[in-house]
Amino acid sequence: MLTKEQIAQRIARELRDGFYVNLGIGIPTLVANYIPAGMNVIMQSENGLLGMGPFPIEGTEDPDLINAGKQTVTTVPGSAFFDSAMSFGMIRSGKVDLTVLGAMEVSETGDIASWKIPGKMVKGMGGAMDLVASAKNIIVAMMHTNPKGESKLLPHCKLPLTGVKCIKRIVTDLALLDVTHEGFVLRELAPGVTVEEVKSKTAGKLKVEGEIPQMVF
């Protein structure tokens, strides 16, 4: 089973030199901690910053410099600021190479639900609908099951959708899976996790073909 840090660590292996990357709130944010040494990856924050750096040193925080999670951040050399329309312009026109976001549910056809629990949680979709509708390369980082132990990988999403047929890859605490026209396809297992466990915790159609490699940390 992977910790949240290990989910982020596994996703970080998908990064390539020169990638422009947008990281969502939660586990996705942790991906920034595992950028391979020597690799130049530029972080985009949809509130209007390219070249986001780490949190500021205590005492130097600047209220005018935050990320999309409203956290105080810094810039790296070569950074740029822009308005919110341009920010989503670069997302919509496919300039951002990788988007990592969290989800409440993903369906076997790649639909995602992540923004609303009717009658309960009304926080709004923020930029998530724009991101999933346009990003060419989206990885979902989430737990395989919800706190009640129910599968989050479903035949159809039960919660209101954020986007349809847009998710291609998921990394959970149990496995790395791709979403194809045949449903979820198991690609890698977390250490100590069996194919049977993934099968029992995946409600949607799951394809398992051949020997499934185990992730190494």
Partner 1 sequence: MNKVFNNAKEALHDIRDGNVLMLGGFGLCGIPENCIAALVEKAVRDITCISNNAGVDDFGIGLLLVKKQVRKMIASYVGENAEFERQLLSGEMEVELVPQGTLASRCMASGYGFPAIFTPAGVGTEVAEGKEIRNFNGKEYLLEMAFDSDFALVKAWKGDTMGNLIYKETARNFNPLMAMAGKITIAEVEELVPAGSLNPNEIHTPGIYVHRIFKGTNYEKRIEQRTVRKAGA
Which residues contact partner 1 by CB under 8 A?
A: 45-49, 54-59, 61-73, 81-85, 87-88, 91-92, 111, 119, 122-130, 133-134, 160-165
With respect to partner 1, which residue has the nearer C-beta, 16 or 156?
A: 156
Among residues 5, 14, 46, 211, the one annotated as catalytic is 46
Nearest to 44 by CA among 17, 6, 16, 82: 82
CA-CA-CA-CA dihedral for 149, 151, 157, 162, to nearest 10: 80
Q: Which is nearer to partner 1, 73 or 186 (CB)?
A: 73
Could you tell me which residues are beta bridge partners of residue 153? 106
46 is catalytic: yes
φ and ψ of 186, to 5 deg: -75, 120
From the CB of 163, what's the least distance to partner 1, in Å? 7
The CA distance from 80 to 139, in Å, is 25
Instruction: Name the nearest CA neighbour of 165 among 124, 215, 127, 111.
Output: 111
Closer by beta carbon to partner 1, 90 or else 208: 90
Q: C-beta of 202: minimal distance to partner 1 in Å?
A: 23
Least separation in angstroms between residue 54's CB and partner 1 is 6
Which tokens hold the place of 106?
């993903």
Active site residues: 46
